[in-house]
Amino acid sequence: MPPNPEVGSQFYVQQKNAILAYLVQNIDQNLLERGDEAQLRARVEELVEEKLRAEKVPYSRQMRNRLVSDIADEILGYGPIEPLLRDPTVTEIMVNRHDQVYCERFGKLELTDVQFRDDEHIRHVIDKIVTPLGRRVDESSPMVDARLPDGSRVNAIIPPLSLNGPVLTIRKFSVDPYTVEDLIGFGTLTQHMAAFLAACVKVKLNIIVSGGSGAGKTTLLNVLSSFIPEGERVITVEDAAELKLHQPHVVRLESRPPNIEGKGEVKIRDLVRNCLRMRPDRIVVGEVRGGEALDMLQAMNTGHEGSISTIHANSPRDAVARLETMVMMAGMDLPSRAIREQIASAIHLIVQVGRLSDGSRKVLSITEVQGMEGNVVVLQDIFTFRQKGISEAGKVLGSMQPTGLVPRFMDRFAAAGINIPADIFRQTSA
Ligand SMILES: Nc1ncnc2c1ncn2[C@@H]1O[C@H](COP(=O)(O)OP(=O)(O)OP(=O)(O)O)[C@@H](O)[C@H]1O
Ligand SMILES: [Mg+2]
């Protein structure tokens, strides 16, 4: 037995497992069921002390504290990932293997020292998350989306689909999502771009936020939605409700996956159609992924202006192409020119966001959809981010610049009494 047992050593792990087994046998079932955190934690502490004393293990104060908290997490929470869930600087948790857990902090991936005992241990935590929601994960349904009680988004996928063993990904829910000031502070967009976007939302342009996975689409959608004037009736449609709007008049709809028997699914598309019958002033769709694109475009073209949504795409041009594909998925068999015309007349603005190599998230372009020229949807950048290089510390260097072009819908601002000075579109020398 090592005289100074190191936290995290094999010895530590053995001790922890032995104490856990002891605890499971000795803890009062009633206490567990009552679920009073403070009481349970106190009892766990007692039992850990008791066991360590009985074994005459020489332990440091540090090791004792760590044992108590690890064991309490195991019994009361989601096991080894609990410290990451509690850490407010962690935004994402990725369990790739029982002994390989990454997290994201400040936009960067980090390998953590968190470990599970084995694959079974990960499965146990997954079950702990999904079972209370009436979902399950097993060979017959090896992928599941779920949420933690705090709203964090969870995806679990297990063999045979995952070749790594059970894989768990958690996007943590931020209690107070970023505001426009936060994003300006992070350098995601400039004051001018923010003022411009706010005006675009107020005059009810139809806006699509485009970007890759984790690029910051939902965060920006939330910020754009915050510019919707208070008097309007907003209906949000999402797969997993992430948006947090502060307006008083908001109705939130959330789609539903099929239940264990494979029944009862309600898709985004069903909700979009339903919400058209709910007298919306604004429709905010978390993400367009499929056939709902057609319903949205039709809605936008028939007077439901001011809709905002996101799409998974790598550029504004790609966003248009994807919208076209999605409309085809709606099964109406429209000719592609007709679809493009719908897109060109429905969408006013595409805001492209991206995560750069240094982990920062930026608005890469704000692009006006101007119409059709021949068979092509005409896109015109109004602001773009120009990357100039990378600093020695790995930081991306560059600046956001207006392209010098004034959007065609400027008259809408004037009509609404919103003053957007033309010089925010003027190029500076940089
Ligand atoms: N501008 C930003 N600056 C810094 N962090 C940001 C920014 N925007 C988003 N984030 C953080 O990045 C993570 C992903 O953001 P978000 O959920 O908005 O991305 P997404 O593009 O919607 O992702 P997904 O493709 O998974 O839906 C979150 O943890 C969020 O807090
Ligand atoms: Mg999102």
**pLDDT digits 0-9 by tens, 159-205:** 999 998 999 999 998 777 899 999 999 999 999 999 999 999 999 99
If you ran DSSP here, which 8-state letter would residue 138 be given?
Answer: B
Centre of ligand 1 to C-alpha 354, Å, is 9
Q: Region 120-132: what's the mean pLDDT?
A: 91
Nearest CA owner, ligand 1 atom 3: 361
Give the residue range(s) of CATH 3.40.50.300 domains in the chain.
Answer: 180-425
Protein residue with its CA nearest to atom 9 in ligand 1 = 216
Ligand 1 atom closest to residue 183's alpha carbon, by position in its atom list: 1
Q: Of 344, 351, 299, nearest to 324 (Cα)?
A: 344
Candidate of 218, 239, 363 to mutate for ligand 1, largest count of ligand atoms within 8 Å of Cβ: 218
Instruction: Give residue 355 CA to ligand 1 midpoint distance, Å.
Output: 9
Residue 24 has pLDDT above 90, yes or no: no
Q: Tell me where in the chain the CATH 3.30.450.370 domain(s) lie.
A: 82-171
Q: Which ligand is nearest to the CA of 353?
A: 1
Could you tell me the CA-to-CA distances from 147 to 67, 80, 132, 180, 242 in Å, in that order?
Answer: 28, 18, 10, 26, 10
Q: And the tokens for 29?
A: 């079932």
Q: What is the mean pLDDT of the chain?
A: 90
- Candidate of 108, 213, 219 to mutate for ligand 1, largest count of ligand atoms within 8 Å of Cβ: 219
Contact call for residues 225 and 400 (beta carbons, < 8 A): no
Ligand 1 atom 7: residue of nearest CA: 216
pLDDT band at 295 (very low <50, low <70, confident <90, very high): very high
Contact predicate 90/172, CB 8 Å: yes
Kindly give the distance from the C-alpha atom of residue 218 to the centroid of ligand 1, in angstroms, as a whole number.
6
The pLDDT value given to residue 66: 84
Residue 44 pLDDT level (bands cut at 50, 70, 90): confident
Which distant-in-sequence residues (6+ apart) come within 8 Å of 236 by Cβ?
225, 243, 245, 250, 251, 252, 253, 284, 285, 286
Token representation of residue 114:
């968190």
User: In a 10 Å sphere around its CB, with 0-12 CB exposed, 13-18 middle and 19+ buried, how is residue 49 labelled?
Assistant: middle
> Which atom from ligand 1 is nearest to the alpha carbon of 186?
3
Q: What is the pLDDT of residue 430?
A: 52
Q: Ligand 1 mean position to 271 CA, how many Å?
A: 24
Nearest CA to ligand 1 atom 2: 361
Q: Is 186 in the pocket of ligand 1 (CB under 6 A)?
A: yes
In DSSP terms, which residues pair with 379 in a beta bridge? 369
Burial (Cβ within 10 Å: 0-12, 13-18, ≥19) of residue 364: buried
CB 190 near ligand 1, within 6 Å = no
Question: pLDDT for 315-363, tens place per residue?
Answer: 999 999 999 999 998 888 889 999 999 999 999 999 999 999 999 999 9
* Distance between Cα 94 and ligand 2 center (Å): 16
What's residue 39's pLDDT?
81
Q: Is the CB of 402 under 6 A from ligand 1?
A: no
User: Does residue 219 line the site of ligand 1, with CB under 6 A?
Assistant: yes
What's the pLDDT score for residue 3? 43
Q: Is the CB of 174 under 6 A from ligand 1?
A: yes
The verdict on the CB of residue 215 being under 6 Å from ligand 1 is: yes
Nearest CA, atom 26, ligand 1: 214
Burial of 129 (0-12, 13-18, 19+ CB in 10 A): buried
Distance 76 CA to ligand 2 centre (A): 29
Q: Ligand 2 centroid vs 3 CA: distance in angstroms?
A: 50
| Atom of ligand 1 lying closest to residue 312 CA | 25
Does residue 210's CB lie within 6 angstroms of at least one atom of ligand 1? no
Q: Are 405 and 367 in contact (CB under 8 A)?
A: no
- CB of 217 sitting under 6 A from ligand 1: yes
Atom of ligand 1 nearest to the CA of 215: 21
What 3-state class would DSSP assign to 144? strand
Predicted local distance difference test score (pLDDT) of residue 41: 79
Contact assessment for residue 307 and residue 283, using Cβ atoms and an 8 Å cutoff:
yes
Q: Does domain 82-171 have CATH number 3.30.450.370?
A: yes
Q: What is the pLDDT of residues 267-279, one digit of tens each?
A: 999 999 999 999 9
DSSP string, 409-422: THHHHHHTT----G
**219 C-alpha to center of ligand 1: Å?**
6
Query: What pLDDT does 2 receive?
Result: 42
What's at 362, amino acid-wise?
K
**Tokens describing residue 161:** 């689909």
The separation between the first and the last C-alpha atoms of the chain, rounded to the nearest angstrom, is 66
pLDDT at 5 over 60: no
Determine the topology of domain 180-425 in CATH.
Rossmann fold (3.40.50)
Q: Give the range among 88-92, 204-208, 256-260 with minimum mean pLDDT.
A: 256-260
